[in-house]
Structure 1
Amino acid sequence: MDRLQTQYQRLYLPPTPDAAGAPGLIGGDGRVRALVLGLRGPADWDTLAPVWRGVQADLALPAPAIAVNGVDAHELWFSLAEPVPLAEASAFLQGLCRRYLAEVKPARLPLWPGPDASTTSPQPHATRIPALHPDTGRWSAFVAPDLPAVFGDDPSLDFQPGEDAQAELLSRLASVPPAAWQAALARLQPAAAVAVPAPAAVPALPPAASPTHHALNGPYQDPRRFLLDVMNDPTVALAQRIDAAKALLASGGTTG
Structure 2
Amino acid sequence: MSRLQIEFRRLFLATDSACADGAVPTLDLVDADGRVRALVIELARPAEWQPLADVWMGVQTELGLPAPAIAVNGTDGMQLWFSVAAPLDAARAQSFLNGLRHRYLAAVKPERLGLMTGADSALAACATALSGSAGASHEANGRWPAFVAPDLAPIFAETPWLDLPPGDEGQARVLAGLESIKPALFEAALAQLQAWADAPTVNAAAAAAAAGSVTSEHDVQADGHPEAQRFLLSVMNDEAAPLALRIEAAKALLPFGRSGGRTI
Q: Tell me which interval the TM-score lies in, with the shorter structure as reference length.
A: 0.5 to 0.7
Match of 1:39 in 2: 43
178, 194, 198: which one pairs with 1:191? 198
Q: Aligned with 1:146: secondary structure?
A: helix
8 Å contact kept, 1:24–1:125: no
Q: For the pair shown, which has the larger CA radius of gyration, 1 or 2?
A: 1
Distance in 2, matches of 1:88 and 1:136, equals 36
Higher helix proportion: 2
Distance in 2, matches of 1:135 and 1:106, equals 30
TM-score when normalising by structure 2: 0.65
Match of 1:179 in 2: 184
Match of 2:104 in 1: 100
State whether structure 2 residue 129 is matched by structure 1 residue 124: no
Match of 1:73 in 2: 77
Post-superposition shift, 1:186?
A: 0.8
State whether structure 2 residue 166 is matched by structure 1 residue 169: no
Distance in 1, matches of 2:193 and 2:107, equals 17
TM-score when normalising by structure 1: 0.67
With over 3 angstroms needed to count, the CA separation of the structure-2 counterparts of 1:153 and 1:168, relative to structure 1, is: same
8 Å contact kept, 2:15–2:30: no
Distance in 2, matches of 1:148 and 1:36, equals 16
In structure 1, give the amino acid aligned to 2:96: F
Count of aligned residue pairs for this structure pair: 183
User: Aligned-residue CA RMSD in angstroms?
Assistant: 2.1
State whether structure 2 residue 57 is matched by structure 1 residue 53: yes
Distance in 1, matches of 2:13 and 2:122, equals 12
8 Å contact kept, 2:67–2:178: yes
Identify unmatched segments of 5+ residues in structure 2: 18-24, 201-264
Q: Aligned with 2:151: secondary structure?
A: coil
Distance in 2, matches of 1:85 and 1:133, equals 31
Which runs of 4 or more aligned residues in structure 1 lie more than 6 Å from their structure 2 counterparts after TM superposition? none
Identify unmatched segments of 5+ residues in structure 1: 118-122, 194-256
Distance in 1, matches of 2:88 and 2:105, equals 23
156, 159, 179: which one pairs with 2:164? 159
1:47-78 C-alpha deviation (Å, 9 max, x unpaired): 21000000000010000000000011110000
Q: Aligned with 2:14: secondary structure?
A: coil
84, 90, 113: which one pairs with 2:88? 84
Post-superposition shift, 1:136?
A: 3.6
8 Å contact kept, 2:78–2:157: no
Distance in 1, matches of 2:175 and 2:199, equals 37
Post-superposition shift, 1:135?
A: 7.0
8 Å contact kept, 1:71–1:136: no
Greater shift, 171-180 or 37-46, is seen at 37-46
Post-superposition shift, 1:96?
A: 0.4
Post-superposition shift, 1:133?
A: 3.5
